[in-house]
């Protein structure tokens, strides 16, 4: 369980994290979503005790990270896969981590095997591809068999097979009752992986909830084709519908398909097609974060 209380991080004149309060519960995969630069990585660094918050606190199982006696046995994290000394072998990198937290060397071999990099264990990390580095990062996160796991953009650099592998891996971890907290700037990615989603923008909490509840609350539209579009547009607008002409039909929002059918009947217009269209999670996300996109395109990563 990870808990944030009014977490705030200010760098000079910018608020990277702005009064975040939420909980990440065990047993499910929780997606941490936001555009690039929205404060996801900063939040994760604060949770791990690497950055100091300006205000508020982050706790793991009720305690600050720095107070954990054996941090790797309680929390596993993959922040930046390339953040490993390039001149050290994968096995020595993991062994050094294991030694500091009293973890056996046999566990090192176990996680190397699990992550699928046992064959390159003695190779220098500097020569690893991003995908192999991600796997090494995952091995490091699992080293202490922790109940809480954090992954920052873990699918970067993975091939499609690796992405599928990691999705199933997250599900398995959650089914084992662990807390799994995964950040991404891609909603499509999280829609397939996460059960719960926390959306932030410009450091602020925008929304949180289950994937289903987020798409359910989102405004859907209805696609209509009818015999007399002009008459129908007038009739729908008069009753509060928002109508846009599109190709050979109308896209109506703020109304259900039942209401539209009734109004069309009243106006004497024949309906040819009436299709409710549910917003995809991607659209919900774009809609939610459109105000909060720090950098329109290109540039700046967190």
CB of 138 to another protein, least distance (A): 13
Pick 65 or 223: Cβ nearer another protein: 65
The first and second tokens of residue 183, run together, are 């950040």
Interaction site with another protein (CB under 8 A): 45, 48-52, 65-66, 68-73, 75, 77, 79-80, 82-89, 92-93, 95-104, 106-107, 140, 144-145
The first and second tokens of residue 18, run together, are 């702005």
CB of 44 to another protein, least distance (A): 10
Pick 79 or 288: Cβ nearer another protein: 79
CB of 257 to another protein, least distance (A): 52
Pick 72 or 260: Cβ nearer another protein: 72
Q: How far, in Å, CA of 133 to CA of 116, rounded?
A: 11
Pick 97 or 118: Cβ nearer another protein: 97
- In angstroms and rounded to an integer, the radius of gyration of the C-alpha atoms of the chain is 24
* 64 alpha carbon, distance to own chain's centre: 23
The first and second tokens of residue 70, run together, are 């054996």
CB of 15 to another protein, least distance (A): 15
Burial pattern 114-143, b for ≥16 Cβ within 10 A else e, equals: ebebbebbeebbeebeebbbbbbbbbbbbb
Sequence-distant (6+) residues with CB within 8 A of 25 are 1, 179, 196
CB of 106 to another protein, least distance (A): 7
Pick 64 or 265: Cβ nearer another protein: 64
């Amino acid at each position: 369980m990870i808990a944030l209380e009014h977490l705030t991080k200010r760098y000079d004149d910018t608020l990277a994290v702005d009064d975040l309060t939420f909980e990440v519960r065990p047993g499910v995969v929780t997606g941490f979503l936001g555009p690039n630069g929205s404060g996801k990585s900063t939040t994760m660094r604060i949770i791990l005790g690497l950055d100091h918050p300006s205000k508020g606190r982050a706790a793991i199982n009720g305690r600050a990270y720095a107070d954990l006696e054996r941090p790797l046995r309680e929390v596993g994290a993959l922040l930046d896969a390339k953040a490993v000394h390039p001149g050290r072998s994968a096995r020595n990198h993991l062994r050094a981590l294991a030694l500091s937290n009293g973890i056996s060397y046999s566990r090192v071999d176990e996680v190397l095997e699990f992550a699928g990099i046992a064959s390159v264990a003695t190779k220098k990390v500097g020569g690893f591809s991003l995908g192999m580095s991600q796997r090494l990062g995952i091995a490091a996160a699992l080293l202490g068999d922790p109940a809480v796991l954090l992954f920052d953009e873990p699918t970067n650099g993975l091939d499609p097979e690796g992405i599928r592998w990691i999705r199933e891996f997250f599900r398995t971890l959650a089914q084992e009752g662990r807390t799994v907290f995964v950040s991404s700037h891609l909603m499509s990615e999280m829609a397939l992986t996460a059960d719960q989603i926390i959306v932030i923008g410009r450091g602020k909490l925008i929304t949180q909830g289950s994937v289903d509840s987020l798409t359910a609350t989102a405004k859907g539209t209805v696609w209509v084709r009818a015999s007399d579009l002009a008459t129908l547009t007038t009739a729908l607008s008069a009753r509060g519908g928002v109508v846009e002409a599109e190709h050979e039909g109308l896209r109506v929002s703020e109304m259900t398909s039942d209401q539209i059918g009734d109004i069309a009947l009243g106006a004497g217009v024949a309906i040819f097609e009436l299709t409710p269209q549910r917003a995809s999670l991607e659209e919900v996300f774009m809609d939610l974060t459109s105000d909060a996109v720090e950098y329109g395109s290109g540039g700046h990563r967190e």
